[in-house]
Structures are given as structure tokens and as C-alpha cells.
């Protein structure tokens, strides 16, 4: 069984093709990364022009033809409404034109599940960190539950905001990681409330300290140390609370080596296994949507085309 998955929640138009074991036959994307940050309507226009070519290219790359596809899946939410609408329209058109079933999937669940299938994690606590989301997720009693999450902006967004103010370009994550290499620690607000965390205070304090003369490398280093320690603390408490012994890191920020290192140390100290999603599947990608489509289809979930309207606020615990 083959599923073609369409990802289009924000800046990435991605197409992936997965078989029923999670083997990925194709995974390609075109990104909209404007310097000034993402504009929802322009991102949607980007996806409109990117998808047709991406679909043909993915089919070619997989060495299959349209008649080999058994299922179409797409990112139904959460995300930016204009982008979701474009993606769902393309997915519906494809489903109608090749006369195959269509299924809308939750983008956050897809990040978790591609991480599981690609690392072999069985029942992890997942730290899902990206530009739009920061959540600590675990499955209990057959349901995804959110044990902790950001109270304001996502960690990726916080890094991007900080980087943009300092003219480091977009996305900020890779640049901040590079700058942080030889920095010294300057205290920044460490905000964990119960199991939730907040990042806006770090952004504004770091910018204030920049104006007061702190060096870029010290600020990048301290930004990472402080915010990643918060994420590590909450992940550890979720492991302890659920008595799970696997931690999975996923989402765009999972590309960060320092975050991986901190989580790995914590996991080693409590004899838990640490898994990080391979870089290729860390950021938004079509492969994860295709794989989640297969999983839902295998569970017998079906959708009429009438029920495929977008869900911009769709939470993973829904």
C-alpha cells in the first residue's frame, strides 16, 4: 500500500510517499523562507505554485505511477489557515482525479509518529519543538496527551524572533546554534510554571542585554542554555510522572546538537533511552504526513471529501 502525503501548514510545501511499513520512497519540499518572516497569504501562493511540480517529481523519484497510489493524506491542521486551505484543495483535487481515498491528518501527531517509526521508539514521551509548537506529548490510555507546553510562543519562533531583531536572517535556529559555539553564560529569565514554559521573557531580556553591550555569541549561547534547560526539565518530569523510559525529540528544533546533548545527558542519568528524529524528518515534511495517513487508514479511519475542511486550531490531544 502506498500513500502520498501533502504537507502545507506553514512555510513548507512538502510531498512524501510512504509504504505500509514506513519506508519512505520520496520526500521532497519547497520552502518559503522570506527574510522578514512568514506572510500567510504569500506562503499559500507559494504552495499553490509549488505543489503540482512537487507531486510529479515525487512520483518520479519513487519510481511509481499515479495508478500505484492507494491513499492520499494531507496536513489538515494545526497551521495557518490560508496554507491549509491550499493544501487541502490540492489534496482533494488529486483524490478526485485519481479516484482514491483522502484522509486529513494532524500535523503534530505526524511529527511524533515519523519520529517513532524512524528511530524505533515504542512508547516515548515526545518533546516536539518547532517554529509553531512546543509540547511535551505522551500517549496514555490510547490517547495523545500534552503534559507540558508553551504558554506563549514556540521555542523555534522565539529563536527566530531574537535572530530577526539582530539581522541574523530566517530561520534563526541554525545561525544562533553556530554563534553559540564559544559563548559564555549570561543569566536570562528561566520560566517554568508547573509543567509549562514560556519564552517571550528570554527574547526581550536578551535583546535588552544586546542593547546594553552583551556580545552576540554570549547571548546566543545563553539563549540556548536557558531555554533548552527549561525543555529538558519538563521532559524529565513527564518521563518521571508517566514512568516511561524513552524520550523522543522531534520537530524543526530537533536539528539542534546542543539540545540533543542536554536531553541525552538527562536520559542517561535516569537510564532512559534517548531518540532524536533523523534530520531529514525533523522539520516539516511530506513523509510524516504520508506515514500518518497509512497509520490512520490501517486503523480503519475514513473521511468523506465533505469532512476534509481545514482545522487551523486542531490540537494533538483532540
Residues in touch with Fe ion (CB under 5 A): 130, 284
CB atoms within 10 A of CB 96: 12
User: What track of x and - describes contact with ligand ATP for positions 92 through 111 (by CB under 6 A)?
Assistant: ---------------x---x
CB of 313 to ligand ATP, least distance (A): 13
Residues between 263 and 292 with contacts to ligand ATP, criterion CB under 6 A: 283-284
Q: Is 8 in the site for ligand ATP (CB under 6 A)?
A: no
Helices (H), the chain: 40-62, 81-98, 107-119, 155-165, 173-179, 200-211, 216-242, 257-269, 286-298
Applying CB under 6 A, among 71, 234, 253, 266 the residue interacting with ligand ATP is: 253
Applying CB under 6 A, among 5, 132, 138, 148 the residue interacting with ligand ATP is: 132
Judged by beta carbon, residue 59 or residue 290, the one nearer ligand ATP is 290
DSSP code string of 244-283: --EEEEESGGGG-HHHHHHHHHHHHHTT-EEEE--GGGTS
Q: Is 83 in the site for ligand ATP (CB under 6 A)?
A: no
Q: Is 46 in the site for ligand ATP (CB under 6 A)?
A: no
Q: Is 172 in the site for ligand ATP (CB under 6 A)?
A: yes
Q: Which residue has the cell 522539520?
A: 283
CB of 12 to Fe ion, least distance (A): 8
Residues between 216 and 245 with contacts to ligand ATP, criterion CB under 6 A: none
**Using an 8 Å Cβ cutoff, are 121 and 273 in contact?**
yes
Q: Is 10 in the site for ligand ATP (CB under 6 A)?
A: yes
Q: Which of 136, 135, 146, 153 minimizes the C-alpha distance to 199? A: 153
Q: How far is CA 202 from CA 209, 222, 235, 302, in A?
A: 10, 10, 19, 44
173 binds, among Fe ion, ligand ATP, none (CB under 5 to 8 A by kind): ligand ATP
What does the alpha-carbon distance between residue 33 and residue 170 come to, in Å, rounded to a whole number? 7
Applying CB under 6 A, among 16, 251, 286, 293 the residue interacting with ligand ATP is: 251
The enclosing H or E element of 130 equals: none
Q: Is 77 in the site for ligand ATP (CB under 6 A)?
A: no
Amino acid at each position: 500500500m502506498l500513500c502520498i502525503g501533502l504537507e502545507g501548514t506553514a512555510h513548507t510545501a512538502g510531498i512524501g510517499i510512504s509504504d505500509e511499513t514506513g519506508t519512505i520512497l520520496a520526500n521532497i519540499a519547497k520552502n518559503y523562507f522570506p527574510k522578514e518572516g512568514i506572510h500567510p497569504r504569500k506562503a499559500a501562493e507559494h504552495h499553490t505554485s509549488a505543489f503540482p511540480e512537487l507531486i510529479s517529481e515525487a512520483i518520479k523519484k519513487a519510481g511509481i505511477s499515479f495508478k500505484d497510489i492507494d491513499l492520499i493524506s494531507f496536513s489538515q491542521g494545526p497551521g495557518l489557515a490560508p496554507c491549509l486551505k491550499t493544501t487541502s484543495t490540492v489534496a482533494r483535487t488529486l483524490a478526485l482525479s485519481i479516484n482514491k481515498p483522502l484522509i486529513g491528518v494532524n500535523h503534530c501527531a505526524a511529527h511524533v509518529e515519523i519520529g517513532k517509526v524512524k528511530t524505533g521508539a515504542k512508547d516515548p514521551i515526545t518533546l516536539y519543538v518547532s517554529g509553531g509548537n512546543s509540547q511535551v506529548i505522551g500517549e496514555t490510555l490510547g490517547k495523545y496527551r500534552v503534559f507540558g507546553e508553551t504558554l506563549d510562543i514556540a521555542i523555534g519562533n522565539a529563536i527566530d524572533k531574537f535572530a530577526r531583531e539582530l539581522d541574523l536572517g530566517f530561520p534563526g535556529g541554525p545561525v544562533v546554534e553556530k554563534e553559540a559555539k564559544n559563548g559564555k553564560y549570561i543569566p536570562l529569565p528561566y520560566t517554568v510554571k508547573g509543567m509549562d514554559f514560556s519564552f517571550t521573557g528570554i527574547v526581550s531580556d536578551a535583546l535588552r542585554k544586546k542593547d546594553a553591550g552583551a556580545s552576540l555569541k554570549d547571548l546566543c549561547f545563553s539563549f540556548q542554555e536557558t531555554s533548552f534547560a527549561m525543555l529538558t526539565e519538563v521532559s524529565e518530569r513527564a518521563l518521571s510522572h508517566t514512568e516511561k523510559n524513552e524520550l523522543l525529540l522531534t520537530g524543526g528544533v530537533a536539528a539542534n546538537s546542543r539540545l540533543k546533548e542536554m536531553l541525552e545527558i538527562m536520559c542517561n542519568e535516569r537510564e532512559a533511552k534517548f531518540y532524536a528524529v533523523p534530520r531529514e524528518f525533523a522539520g516539516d515534511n511530506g513523509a510524516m504526513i504520508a506515514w500518518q495517513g497509512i497509520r490512520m487508514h490501517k486503523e480503519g479511519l475514513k473521511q468523506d471529501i465533505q469532512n476534509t475542511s481545514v482545522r487551523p486550531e486542531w490540537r494533538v490531544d483532540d
